[in-house]
Chain A
Amino acid sequence: KQEVTQIPAALSVPEGENLVLNCSFTDSAIYNLQWFRQDPGKGLTSLLLIQSSQREQTSGRLNASLDKSSGRSTLYIAASQPGDSATYLCAANMYSGGGADGLTFGKGTHLIIQP
């Protein structure tokens, strides 16, 4: 069964720093991997989706990479801002005989950007 691990569990950095969030998954038979942001008590905001055939995706200050063979993905946040403070979730989508199953989520990285 797919397991998704996110490191670190929590991170607090001063505003302006570049940072990297890590995600690893045990089963490389994914068809895509997705990064989400979740604010306290709120739903999910999709940030980036990387198909299994892709190596990376970029959106503004965010860049996500995928190394399927090693079971790793990273989310790079450039020039961090206090508004980036949130929990960041990584989720893997698997191939299955009947089409994709639901996403398998990591426990998230709780990020605090200090003003």
Chain B
Amino acid sequence: GAVVSQHPSWVICKSGTSVKIECRSLDFQATTMFWYRQFPKQSLMLMATSNEGSKATYEQGVEKDKFLINHASLTLSTLTVTSAHPEDSSFYICSAREGEWGSYNEQFFGPGTRLTVL
């Protein structure tokens, strides 16, 4: 159980375009989803936390107008990279957690999305 999927697994886009990445919890209801970013040979850095039905909370230094997060249902969160630039090229990974808001349940990770901006 506890499977999280991401789509697409990889995407190449031109500079200036927008890209949407989906994160789905397949067999549980995810009240909270997290978005992480990983640059080459670096560790994962938390970008934002989203709770179903409310606005996302962004980490310091992450532009909320550039990285739009929507968590409209208990099984789906989307990350839209708007006006992407080459420096946004990275590996984006989501995780999902079930339980009431504020619970301390385990997070389950998706397989990641490789974004390359030309």
Contacts and interface: CB of A to CB of B under 8 A. Distances in A.
Contact of B93 (A32, A43, A99): A43
Interface in B65-118: 91, 93, 95, 97, 101-104, 106-112, 114
B21 to A, nearest CB: 13
Nearest to A95: B104
Interface residues of A, number: 25
B11 interface: no
Contacts of A83: none
Interface residues of B, number: 26
Q: Which of B45, B59, B97, B107 has the most CB of A within 10 A?
A: B107
A79 interface: no
Interface in A8-24: none
Interface string A83-108: 00000010101010011111111111
B46 A102 contact: yes
Contacts, number: 61
B114 to A, nearest CB: 7
Given A101-B46, A104-B46, A107-B43, A43 B112 contact: yes
B106 A102 contact: no
A46 interface: yes
Interface centre among B43, B106, B110, B111 (most CB of A within 10 A): B43
A42 interface: yes
A42 B36 CA distance: 14
A31 interface: yes
Contacts of B91: 41
B36 A102 contact: yes
Given A31-B104, A43-B111, A102 B43 contact: no
Interface of A: 31-32, 34, 36, 41-44, 46, 49, 89, 91, 93, 95, 98-108
15 contacts: A36-B109, A41-B91, A42-B112, A43-B111, A44-B109, A46-B109, A99-B103, A99-B104, A100-B97, A101-B49, A102-B49, A102-B107, A103-B34, A103-B95, A108-B43
